Amino acid sequence: SISVQVQSGLNWFNTKLKVNYGKQQASLKQLQQAVRNKSRYVQLDDGTLGILPDAWIERMAQFFFAAEVVGEDLVTPRIHFDAIAQIFTEEELDDEVKESVRHYQAKLANLESIEPVAPPKSLQATLRPYQLEGLSWLRFLDDHQFGGVLADDMGLGKTLQVIALMLLRKEKEASETHLVVVPTTLLFNWQAELKRFAPSLKVYILHGAGRKKDRNEFEQYDVVITSYGTLLSDINYLRYFQFGYVFLDESQQVKNIGSQRYHAVRLLRSKNRLAITGTPVENNTLDLYAQISFVAPGLLGNKQYFKDVYSTPIDKFEDSRRAAELKRKVAPFILRRTKEAVAKELPDKTEQVLYCPMGDAQRSLYEMYERELRDYLEGKIEDEILRNSIHVLRGLTQLRQICDDPRLVNAEQGLGSAKIEALMEQIDSKSVQHKILVFSQFVSMLDLVKEELEKSGIGYAILTGATKNREAVVAHFQQDPGTRVFLLSLKAGGTGLNLTAANYVYLLDPWWNPAVEAQAIDRAYRIGQHKNVQAIRLICPG
């Protein structure tokens, strides 16, 4: 005989489960072990074996993987509310459990059913309606201690929504420190966005040789921002600090569950967790598993269970039933809005700056050339400078080239390029259906980007002043789904082209004349463009 009763606890569901074979009973631990081992046999109290029905094993498998045996009960975190509803009958759930399950299902099935929150008073920005909905969703998860994945398209303001959540937490919690983990190329951008939208928050950048090593000092900051690389280096002391939230930006960086990065972020301690990404799934369902297992540990079972039940059937055999089941399970904890879905709330064209801090070697070379130019100019009167304007222009151009890539001034200077690194991270983070224009004044810079695209197997087209068959190249980019990136020199591609297949424009180097940049952006933003266009300028900060 089998008896089940599910009751409500503080942040969990308690399940009282009894399986009797006559006068003998199977303990919870023995039942859990049998189900996890896919065994039909369970050891009873007297040492004999009982047989478990196949249908019962299949029904209870995901439950036993999610639950923990505590005394005489199976304890299941509330994040498994949907599994509770799927596994157990109405008669097996007490009234409080049924009410909780219905509440979570109703609220998380429809954003509009979540009670809207007022934006934090100290937020120095006006949220668009969909951003306010996103903030309300984040606050709902926060109130119930659920982790989540904010997976809006790039350009919809994920960073702003997260900053607004931080400020709401600040109003609610007097003192706590959040950790934001980002690719190195985004450290400066997060710092700039926090300063712009939430100047009341005290921020520390945990990066570089002189960074703090005493975790107790973090308590004086509201936000600590670090890179994935620094996190890996410092995990042995970061793991012992209790953060408010851990936010993973570009969380696809931990999609490999066998990687050191993944294992490092799993060691972090926090009240809650949020993953931020425009591409939650890049290759297969294991990408999703890695991120969900960070924000909602146990929701999808352990790695082997997920592989057996979801990954292999879906990725290898295209099992639509399992795919629908997985989607239903994770949908409440993933918020994704596309640009098309919120197009009416967006301006037709948006522009932003992506800051790309130079590495030490690249910066040293820049400073050396800068000193040479400054030394040349010192002591010269204006007339002398005007007479030698070509020399001055060459010096300024070299500084711009070093910001792009040191190899533009010296092919032997393999010092790394902050802009190319940032650009490739941006391209990698886009869904394959997005098309991208990349402009540079320097054809040699486009050649370096081309090399990186080829290494990554990303389809591209290129148009410079030397291109003969312009119309064919343009048509190929516009019509071929596999050609995701169009590399264009600013002069050759800046005028006379309609490139409406693209909705992202990257300007690798600023041009002297802003009107020329505007023309380049308008290659994508033309009559016939049905998408919102986002233009991103890559700038090396001083």
Quickly list DSSP for 53-112: PHHHHHHHHHHHHH-EEETTEEEEEGGGHHHHHHHS-GGGB-HHHHHHHHHHHHHHH-GG
Where is average pLDDT lowest: 160-169, 422-431, 456-465, 485-494? Answer: 485-494
Q: Which two tokens stand for residue 457?
A: 């197997």
Average pLDDT over residues 187-199: 95
Nearest alpha carbon to residue 372 among 405, 390, 398 = 398
Which tops the pLDDT comparison, 542 or 484?
484
Class of residue 176 by CB neighbours under 10 A (exposed 0-12, middle 13-18, buried 19+) = middle
Q: Which two tokens stand for residue 233?
A: 């280096």
Nearest alpha carbon to residue 302 among 32, 2, 29 = 32
The most distant pair of C-alpha atoms in the chain lies apart, rounded to whole Å, by 106
Helix axes of 158-172 and 187-197: crossing angle, nearest 10 degrees: 60
168, pLDDT greater than 60: yes
Distance CA 346, CA 533 (A): 10
Distance CA 435, CA 499 (A): 10
Cα-flanking dihedrals φ and ψ of residue 335, to 5°?
Answer: -115, 115
pLDDT band for 528, please (50, 70, 90 cuts).
Answer: low
pLDDT band for 527, please (50, 70, 90 cuts).
Answer: very low
Alpha carbon dihedral 299, 303, 306, 309, in 10-degree steps, equals -140
Helix or strand or coil: residue 400? helix
Average pLDDT over residues 236-264: 96
Cα-flanking dihedrals φ and ψ of residue 331, to 5°?
Answer: -55, -40
371, pLDDT greater than 80: yes
Residues 6+ apart with CB under 8 A from 291: 149, 248, 251, 252, 254, 255, 275, 277, 280
10, pLDDT greater than 80: no
149, pLDDT greater than 90: yes
Positive or negative: CA dihedral 232, 234, 236, 240? negative
CB-CB contact of 26 with 160 (8 Å): no
What pTM did the predictor assign?
Answer: 0.83
CB-CB contact of 249 with 190 (8 Å): yes
Average pLDDT over residues 518-529: 70
pLDDT band for 62, please (50, 70, 90 cuts).
Answer: confident
Instruction: Outline where DSSP puts E strands in 55-165.
Output: 68-70, 73-77, 148-150
Number of alpha helices (DSSP H) and beta strands (DSSP E) in the chain: 20, 20
Q: Which two tokens stand for residue 279?
A: 């591409």
Positive or negative: CA dihedral 286, 160, 153, 139? positive
384, pLDDT greater than 90: no
135, pLDDT greater than 50: yes
Distance CA 181, CA 190 (A): 10
Average pLDDT for the chain: 91
pLDDT band for 77, please (50, 70, 90 cuts).
Answer: confident
pLDDT band for 459, please (50, 70, 90 cuts).
Answer: very high
Average pLDDT over residues 269-284: 93
Q: Which two tokens stand for residue 69?
A: 């045996």
Q: How far apart are the first and last CA of the chain?
A: 73
pLDDT band for 510, please (50, 70, 90 cuts).
Answer: confident
Average pLDDT over residues 498-507: 89
pLDDT band for 525, please (50, 70, 90 cuts).
Answer: low
Average pLDDT over residues 410-417: 86
Cα-flanking dihedrals φ and ψ of residue 530, to 5°?
Answer: -105, 0
Average pLDDT over residues 430-437: 88
Distances (CA, A) of 499 to 17, 345, 533: 63, 23, 11
